[in-house]
Chains A and B, each alone.
Chain A
Amino acid sequence: AQSVTQLGSHVSVSEGALVLLRCNYSSSVPPYLFWYVQYPNQGLQLLLKYTSAATLVKGINGFEAEFKKSETSFHLTKPSAHMSDAAEYFCAVSEDGANNLFFGTGTRLTVIP
């Protein structure tokens, strides 16, 4: 069975500080992994995805994530937080890479001026 655990439902960082959002997955086969962002009153937008190519994946808005098989992790990072990064972030896993996405419970990121 596939699942995702996001540690920390709320994360606060100062503007300009490092952003680190944690995601650990469980999958019986090599997974596809995703990070989505949801701004208030909007749907989810894909930030980046891992599909078994490079283990370090770069996404939009300066975010990146590293796939670590030994740790079953896919943590999201950004070197310097911006006020516009305040949103909710969801990690998701898929074994078939097509229809079936399994989401974590999300992490709300607050950026302090």
Chain B
Amino acid sequence: ETGVTQTPRHLVMGMTNKKSLKCEQHLGHNAMYWYKQSAKKPLELMFVYNFKEQTENNSVPSRFSPECPNSSHLFLHLHTLQPEDSALYLCASSHLGLAEPYNEQFFGPGTRLTVL
């Protein structure tokens, strides 16, 4: 596997279900991100983890719960979601270092989530 992988690629769940999205990066990066992509809206940054520590939570409802057990893996645990949570969830990673002002974010292919 190379780059950033996400599983599953598609997920359909009911509002009472509990499911998890998984992201794995094979790039040796130290920062990971969750984004939500809804139709006709800008990508919304949900969570940021730097060196496994959460540094950003953009007012995301508690029904979304991130977990970063190590710098290569990122999970998004879902429970009691609403139909408006249906979207494409993208994971990204980057390398934060002192040598550059910016390090490119590499994106996974996303998980298409449908909440019934």
Contact = CB atoms under 8 A, between A and B. Distances in A.
Given A46-B104, A49-B104, A99-B48, A104 B109 contact: no
Interface size class of B (residues with CB under 8 A): 20 to 34
A46 B106 CA distance: 8
Contacts, number: 59
Nearest to A42: B109
A17 to B, nearest CB: 26
A98 B41 contact: no
Contact of A45 (B102, B103, B107): B107
Contact of B107 (A4, A43, A94): A43
Contacts of B109: 41-43
A98 B102 contact: yes
A41 B41 CA distance: 17
26 contacts: A9-B40, A36-B107, A42-B110, A43-B109, A44-B43, A44-B90, A45-B107, A49-B102, A49-B104, A90-B43, A94-B102, A97-B102, A98-B94, A98-B101, A98-B102, A98-B103, A99-B31, A99-B48, A99-B56, A100-B56, A102-B42, A102-B45, A103-B43, A104-B42, A105-B42, A106-B42
Interface of B: 4, 31, 33, 40-43, 45, 48, 50, 55-56, 90, 92, 94, 96, 101-110
Given A43-B108, A99-B33, 13 more contacts: A32-B102, A41-B109, A43-B4, A43-B107, A45-B107, A46-B105, A49-B104, A51-B102, A94-B102, A98-B102, A99-B50, A99-B56, A100-B48
